[in-house]
Amino acid sequence: MVGSYKKTTKVIVSILLILGGLFSAFPILWMVCSSLKSNSEIFSWPPKFFDKTANLSSYASVLTDSTKVRFFINSYIVAGCVVLLTLFVGILAAYAFSRFDFPGKGVFNSLIVSVQAIPPIVLLIPYMGLIVAMKLFNTYFALILTYLITTLPYCILMMTGYFNTLSRELDEAVMIDGGSRWKALWSVLVPISIPGMVSVGMYTFMQAWNEYLFALALTQTTDMRTVPIGINLLMGQHAYDWSQMMAMSVLGSIPVLILFIFFQKYFIAGMSSGGVKG
Amino acid sequence: MKLTGKKTAPYRYLAPTILLMIVFMVIPICMVIGYSFVDKAVVSQNPQFVGLENYKTIFADNEYIGAISNTIIFVVVSVVAHLILGMLFAMLLNSKYFKSRTKTIARVIYILPWVFTASVVAILWKLMLQPSGIVNYLLSIFPQISRNTEWLSNSSIALAVICFINIWCGYPFYMISILAGLQGISGDLYESAAIDGSTAVKSFLHITIPQLKPILISIAMLDFIWTLQSFNVIWMLTGGGPVNATETLSIYIYKKAFQKVDYSMAATAATILLVVCIFIAVFYVRQQKKVRE
């Protein structure tokens, strides 16, 4: 009796597990399949997952189109710079928070935490004027500087936590040998903190790669657009070339997907600490 | 000399952060609040101070009231559905009926929707929701649903569709946080409850929910703040339409500022949104402190 009850439960739970998998993965699977089909096959009725004619031609046409390749180059440049700058500026701030007690520490700390609650759209209104006045409109700098505001808080909080776990004796040893604090930070603390930096860097890259609103408003010419805007532009321009749009979407998701698969542990740890939205 | 160097040291390390925060956060926020008290902000050379006039005007604007009600529906439906789905999936992933390998694979698949950027989510659902697309095909087993439903351009269902898509791409955050919480609950609690003859449902209500309560409140509040601000997917799928049916507060602000070039009104709506978000954030921080203690 108990055995059969357990068996039924197992069957029900298994069915739920599969249904859940379909719910989350089916749209993604459909995207990948569509990118391999021609436009007319995507809307064939009844639809087919795979067709004998499946091919990579839409990928080839995305990768040989210099305008579209430019979106990727822009995204890599912006996300790469944002990661490096966030880590550099964030590590300095984290060092201050971890190793010093100073007047105003609490105020700065709550200022940094509160950034995460500020709607990007609120900041965007003054950014337009500010960025134009700084002559940064439609440049990489406009995106890099504004992204830093959203990526820094997570970096500072995580790295402060990381530095707090490292003994102060480490920096003191360097300073007794006549080294400066600066040297202690970069030659001792930073090398041991690489695992923490990898996880922060990965998150920062994902935030920068996926950002849409600032990229939409603060850049203007097609040659300055990033991948998310590029994908959206395709929706307007080639309203009917679904196959290419899907290929572009798959290609645009690959960098983040690779990071996700290889650094799953960090990814999940970061997610459950609630610091970052995708 | 050496003493002053020591005193300024922390500020030197913080200097780049402080500079960035002042230029790109403190000043912009002051600017937005300032704009909301003047007439023809940004566009006019010498805008006039109008006091609370903009705030009076905005609450008389039907489009704004509509945006508030759309946002409330969107946020409440999303947060509740995220909680339920996140809980269900986390319990599946924590279930004793599967091998840990199965659970690892399932976890990767279940997180996937969270990984994709908003424009991919938007374009992907736009394809699936085409009148001759896969969704209508799958639903054609139900004869009462028309084969050519226009999901995104029908003003009576567009908001529901947008909610559904937001639910699809947002639940993994809950699932992961709840899963971490479930794994932290001691098995002894369930065992002693089982010995006392407690059923699965009772254990869930009397052990799981109370144990998870702090986590559930935290993530729901974070999600509340995020959903309140959401812009990307809605903007790309419907642009707030048809006929403002999916216009949320962020969309309203964006349209006012960058399409109608009415920065004063945009700033007024933005200031109100900011105050609401900060209000919830203060509660969130208090909740976090309580959890830590």
Chain B nearest CA to A79, separation (Å) = 14
Q: What is the pLDDT of residue A272?
A: 62
**Which of A20, A92, A123 is closest, CB to CB, to B16?**
A92
Average pLDDT, integer, range B277-286: 86
Interface contact flag, A125 B285, Cβ < 8 Å: no
Strand partners, B49: B38
Tell me, yes or no, whether B151 lies in a domain. Answer: yes
How does pLDDT run across A29-39, given as a tens digit for each residue? 999 999 998 88
Average pLDDT, integer, range A2-24: 87
Q: pTM for the full model?
A: 0.90
Q: Best residue in A118, A122, A233 to probe B by mutation, most B CBs within 10 Å?
A: A122
How does pLDDT run across B204-216, given as a tens digit for each residue? 888 889 989 888 9
Q: What is the pLDDT of residue A270?
A: 65
Nearest by Cα to A246 from A260, A231, A261, A236: A231
Q: Which chain A residues are closer than 8 Å to B281 by Cβ?
A: 114, 116-117
- Cα–Cα–Cα angle for A95, A101, A105, nearest 5°? 85
Q: Residue A113: which CATH number?
A: 1.10.3720.10
Separation of alpha carbons A154 and A140, rounded Å: 22
Q: Residue B286: which CATH number?
A: 1.10.3720.10
Q: What is the Cα A238 distance to its own chain's centre? A: 27
Contacts of B149 (CB under 8 A, 6+ apart): B131, B136, B139, B157
Number of domains in chain A: 1
pLDDT classification of B191: cutoffs 50, 70, 90: confident
Number of domains in chain B: 1
A274 has pLDDT over 60 = no
Average pLDDT, integer, range B237-264: 92
pLDDT winner (highest mean) among B35-49, B155-169, B187-201: B155-169
Name the more confident of A89 and A55.
A89
Q: Which chain A residues are closer than 8 Å to B110 by Cβ?
A: 20-21, 24
How does pLDDT run across B269-278, given as a tens digit for each residue? 999 999 999 9
A265 has pLDDT over 90 = no
Q: What is the pLDDT of residue A113?
A: 79
User: Closest-CA residue in chain B for A92?
Assistant: B13
Tell me, yes or no, whether A52 lies in a domain. Answer: no
A18 has pLDDT over 90 = yes
Separation of alpha carbons A155 and B221, rounded Å: 22
A134 has pLDDT over 60 = yes
Tell me, yes or no, whether B1 lies in a domain. Answer: no
Average pLDDT, integer, range A39-66: 83
Chain A nearest CA to B156, separation (Å) = 24
Give me chain A's average pLDDT, please: 87
User: Closest-CA residue in chain B for A153?
Assistant: B17
Interface contact flag, B14 A30, Cβ < 8 Å: no
Domain limits at A237? 58-272
How does pLDDT run across B55-87, given as a tens digit for each residue? 999 999 999 999 999 999 999 999 999 999 999
Tell me, yes or no, whether A103 lies in a domain. Answer: yes
Q: What is the pLDDT of residue A107?
A: 84
Q: What is the pLDDT of residue A220?
A: 92
Interface contact flag, A232 B123, Cβ < 8 Å: yes
Interface contact flag, B137 A45, Cβ < 8 Å: yes
Amino acid at B94: N
The dihedral over CA atoms of B235, B240, B245, B249, expressed in degrees to the nearest 10, equals: 90
Span of B141-145, B168-172, B181-185, B228-232 with lowest mean pLDDT: B141-145
Q: What is the Cα A204 distance to its own chain's centre? A: 5
Encode B179-206: b = buried (16+ Cβ within 10 Å), e = exposed.
bbbbeeeeeeebeebeeeebeeeebeee
Domain limits at B260? 62-292
Tell me, yes or no, whether B21 lies in a domain. Answer: no
B256 has pLDDT over 90 = yes
Separation of alpha carbons B224 and A87, rounded Å: 29
Nearest by Cα to B42 from B275, B271, B274, B260: B260
Q: What is the pLDDT of residue A234?
A: 84
Interface contact flag, A260 B123, Cβ < 8 Å: no
ipTM of predicted assembly, 2 dp: 0.88
A275 has pLDDT over 50 = no
Tell me, yes or no, whether A37 lies in a domain. Answer: no
Tell me, yes or no, whether B8 lies in a domain. Answer: no
Tell me, yes or no, whether A67 lies in a domain. Answer: yes
Average pLDDT, integer, range A161-178: 86
Span of A31-45, A60-74, A198-212, A234-248 with lowest mean pLDDT: A234-248
Interface contact flag, B258 A217, Cβ < 8 Å: yes
Helix, coil or strand: residue B38: strand
B156 has pLDDT over 70 = yes
Tell me, yes or no, whether A4 lies in a domain. Answer: no
Q: What is the pLDDT of residue A147?
A: 95
Interface contact flag, A229 B119, Cβ < 8 Å: yes
Residues B67/B247, Cβ–Cβ less than 8 Å: yes
Tell me, yes or no, whether A219 lies in a domain. Answer: yes
Tell me, yes or no, whether A76 lies in a domain. Answer: yes
Give me chain B's average pLDDT, please: 89
Separation of alpha carbons A254 and B116, rounded Å: 9
- Terminal CA-to-CA distance of chain B, rounded, Å? 42
The dihedral over CA atoms of A130, A135, A141, A147, expressed in degrees to the nearest 10, equals: 10
Interface contact flag, B119 A232, Cβ < 8 Å: yes
Q: What is the pLDDT of residue A3?
A: 65
B5 has pLDDT over 70 = no
Q: What is the pLDDT of residue B190?
A: 85
